Structure 1
């Protein structure tokens, strides 16, 4: 059974602004406690290079863009390891709620026969990291409101 982390938050900002926060990679270090650096063209099949903080230690992580619908959805995954040992999926999805509000949904799943070991070592850090990133997206988007 996969290790799954799902989170959802309603944000007091329009979807365009929330999307701007998610894709404004040069400014991640200003608000994102989990991914302090990020670079990508967002083209499916191209890499997304990140510096991820797990347990206080920064780690370089390269994953691959799976899908990108500007303003709505972005997903990426690690390159599968040999013999199905480990594979992942990460997605960000926005749903406009009207009245300049947006629902942000975060999804992460890790699977493969090696995933129980990774979860034992890093599971609590992954949960804290994704929670911090979700809260950071909300705080940043709401702070960027124009008066």
Structure 2
């Protein structure tokens, strides 16, 4: 059984600007309440190193870029635990809605027998984190658009 968090939001900013917000990982600390620091090249197979605020003090986390289609999507996952007891999928997808509007879809999924345990222990904190990041992407992109207009 999987543990899944899907969040979507419409943003009053063009897709290219939303992509810029998502991929300017050096600026995450300025607007992202969940991923406080992030370093990556976004090249498939390369690491994505994050400092994440979940419960207690922020923790370092390393995952690996799975895919990156410029101005459309990028995804990453953790190194699976032995015997498939836990694995993860994380993706960011942007869709140009026309008229300078964009939809941002955030997807997170834990798979494997331990996903139920992790979801039970950390589900509330994970939902809060992904909601904060989704809301932050919207606020940041719309604020940058307002400055440019």
Shorter-chain TM-score range: over 0.9
For 1:122 and 1:83, locate their aligned partners in 2 and report how far apart those are by CA, in whole Å: 22
The corresponding residue for 1:68 is: 68
The corresponding residue for 1:129 is: 129
Indicate how the Cα distance of structure 1 residues 56 and 14 shifts in structure 2: closer, same or farther if over 3 A, else same: farther
Matched, 1:117 2:117: yes
Shift of 1:78: 0.3
Please identify runs of 4+ aligned residues in structure 1 that moved more than 2 A.
none
Q: How does the TM-score come out when normalised to structure 1?
A: 0.98
For 1:128 and 1:55, locate their aligned partners in 2 and report how far apart those are by CA, in whole Å: 11
Query: In the TM superposition, what are the counterparts of 1:1-147 in structure 2 within 5 Å?
Result: 1-145=1-145, 146-147=148-149
Q: Which runs of 5+ in 2 are unaligned?
A: none
For 1:15 and 1:25, locate their aligned partners in 2 and report how far apart those are by CA, in whole Å: 17
Deviations 1:49-105 (A, max 9, x none): 000100242010100000000100000000001011100000000000000000000
Count of paired positions: 147
For 2:9 and 2:119, locate their aligned partners in 1 and report how far apart those are by CA, in whole Å: 24
Shift of 1:114: 1.2
Q: How does the TM-score come out when normalised to structure 2?
A: 0.96
For 1:43 and 1:49, locate their aligned partners in 2 and report how far apart those are by CA, in whole Å: 13
For 2:98 and 2:83, locate their aligned partners in 1 and report how far apart those are by CA, in whole Å: 46
Q: Which runs of 5+ in 1 are unaligned?
A: none
Which has the higher mean CA deviation after the structures are superposed, 110-119 or 71-80? 110-119
